[in-house]
Amino acid sequence: MTGTADHAIAAERIFDGETFRSDRAVLLRGERIIDVTTTPPPGVPVTRLPPGAILAPGFIDAQVNGGGGVLLNDDCSVDGIARIAAAHRAGGTTALLPTLITDTRPAIRRAIAGVAEAIRLGVPGILGIHLEGPFLSPRRIGIHDPARLARFGEGDAALLTGLGDRGITLVTLAPEEVPPGAVADLVARGARVSAGHTADDGPAIRRALGEGLTGFTHLFNAMSQMGPRAPGAVGVALSDERAFAGIIADGHHVGDLQLRLSLRLIGRDRLMLVTDAMAPVGDPSGAPFTLFGRRIRRDGDRLTGEDGTLAGAAITMIEAVRHMSGRGGATLAEALTMASLTPARFLGLDGRLGRIAPGYAADLVALGADLAVIGTWIGGRAARTA
């Protein structure tokens, strides 16, 4: 892109989505990046980041159940969705999919309508919706409410894709719980489909991959494991190059060895960080958290039901980046890619998000030398500063 910049952000280190570059300035015009240069043009206002700071593409989170004291299942109003997004901006996330966990069909309609209205009104960072359930395996239900599980039937493909072209729709389902052709129908209607909460040992998942399934939801968690002969969902995810996989790097959901193994086998270009965050994230009140009437215990950043079942996470994306690069075997560059460009690729948005390059959206995060978030920009506008 060419033209006169109206603002520049300069940093000692810029991560462009794949590699680090030293002493650069990112030139912005409106909502876009127009250039990356060593010297800002005369007369252009410059925001200079502190010594040692990093400017990187804003993080993209494909699985955000809640934040700021709000759970999407409980509050899918525009205000509620805005509070979720604001809570995660504090952790460097500039784009996300509010996620509805297993619920009734009327609740799905309400959530889609709420997200559509949030997008129409320009709530910063809302890309679409992630519908995690209700077509999941009762054998791998996790913390979801088994009473809200459903059988996939006539009209459900249309229901799940009701957002249409107003935003992205991601559907998590258990391939063995939907009839042949259901995944292909969802994909034909514009949805992206991931396997999750599945007990299938491989055949139904492979069939779904053939129909256009492209993801695995929270790898290792709530899915069939790899055995001596049956690959399970984990084995297919680790070996099939057609699909991406989300992974929760919080020290509770997945062991550090498994994080390292996943990165080695899948690679940073298909393994993406997700938070699976719940309402307590970014909620300073410390208010009690319940999920469909069940009390959820919080111990630091660990959330569990009364029986010890993990109940989502209480982290932001920067915490996942720090864990992945500190204990998960990734370099900082790999972890930052897994939080930005890789989810952008998964969602089909890598032509405008996930990089610092001319023509890309000016969705950015500034990190201090200690990897604390010190600022974010969405569409070139400062969304949070330290």
Which 3-state string (H, E, C) describes 353-376?
A: CCCCCCCCECCEEEECCCCCEEEE
In which residue ranges of the chain is CATH 3.20.20.140 found?
Answer: 59-346
How high is the pLDDT of residue 384?
Answer: 56
The percent of residues above 90 in pLDDT, for the chain, comes to 88
The pTM score is: 0.96
Identify the pLDDT of residue 385.
39
Q: What is the mean pLDDT of residues 133-156?
A: 96
pLDDT tens digits for range 105-125: 999 999 999 999 999 999 999
Q: pLDDT at position 120, please?
A: 98
All CATH 2.30.40.10 domain ranges in the chain, comma separated: 7-56+354-385
Instruction: Evaluate if residue 288 carries a pLDDT over 80.
Output: no
Which residues are within 8 A (CB) of 97 and not within 5 positions of it... i.e. 6 or more apart? 61, 62, 63, 64, 127, 128, 129, 130, 168, 170, 347
- pLDDT per residue over 316-347, tens digit each? 999 999 999 999 999 999 999 999 999 999 99
Give the pLDDT confidence of 56-84 residue by residue, as tens digits: 999 999 999 999 999 999 999 999 999 99
Using the predicted structure, report yes or no on whether residue 3 has a pLDDT greater than 90.
Answer: no
* Cα(102)–Cα(277) distance, integer angstroms: 15
Q: Which CATH number fits domain 59-346: 3.40.50.970, 3.30.420.40, 3.20.20.140, 3.30.70.2190?
A: 3.20.20.140
> Which one from 35, 156, 240, 276 is the annotated catalytic residue?
276
For residue 386, what pLDDT band results from cuts at 50, 70 and 90? very low
The mean per-residue pLDDT over the stretch 274-282 comes to 95
The domain defined by 7-56+354-385 carries CATH number 2.30.40.10: yes
Supply the pLDDT for residue 2. Answer: 56
Residue-wise burial string across 329-340, b where 16 or more C-beta atoms lie within 10 A, e elsewhere: bbebbbbbbbbb
Span 32-42, average pLDDT: 93
To the query of whether residue 256 is one of the catalytic residues in this protein, the response is no
Query: Which segments are annotated as binding site for substrate?
Result: 143, 221-222, 229, 253, 310-312
